[in-house]
Amino acid sequence: MELYSWCIMTSHVHLIIGTKGNPLSNIIRDLKRHTAEELHKAIKNIDTESRREWMLWMMERAAKKNSNNAKFELWQAESHPIELTTAKITHQKLDYIHYNPVEAGFVNNPEDWKYSSAIDYNGGKGLLKIIHLEPMIV
C-alpha cells in the first residue's frame, strides 16, 4: 500500500492510498483489523486513561451487534471508497482531506492539524511517511 494523504478526525479517517494489484477491499479490511487490534491493546494497557473501561466496554458492546467480530469492534463495517480516476478529482479530494479540520473549526490552517499530511504538502514533516502527489498542472 502506498500512502499519499491522510487525516485523522475525531470520528473518522480520510486516506488517499494506492495499491498495485491488491484489491482495495483487502487493504481496507487489513488496515481496519490491524489498527483495531493495536488500539485495543493500547487502551487495555494504559492504566492512567480515565475512560479506559468505558472504551473497552463500548468496543465489546459493538462486537455483540456484529457477528463478524468475536471480541471487540472499533471500526464501522462500511467504508466509502472513491476511485480517483483523474488528477482533478485526486487534487479535489486532497484539498477536502486537508481542509477537513479547518472546516470543523479545530485549526485555522490545514498544516496546523497534527494528525494530517497537510504539513507534508506545506514543506514540513508530518507523523507518517507519505508519497507526495504530483502538483496539478492547470
Domain ranges of the chain: 2-121
What is the CATH architecture assignment of 2-121? 2-Layer Sandwich (3.30)
- The H-assigned helical ranges of 15-115 are 24-45, 52-64, 87-103
What does pTM read for this prediction?
0.79
**Average pLDDT for 14-26:** 87
CA nearest 72: which of 84, 58, 52? Answer: 58
The amino acid present at 90, given as its one-letter code, is T
Dihedrals φ, ψ of 2, to 5°?
A: -115, 130
Q: What is the pLDDT of residues 46-100, one digit of tens each?
A: 888 889 999 999 888 888 887 666 688 888 878 888 889 899 999 999 999 999 9
- Cα atoms in the 13 Å half-sphere on the side-chain side of 137: 1
Q: Which residue has the higher pLDDT, 37 or 76?
A: 37
Q: Which residue has the higher pLDDT, 5 or 80?
A: 5
pLDDT for the residue numbered 13: 93
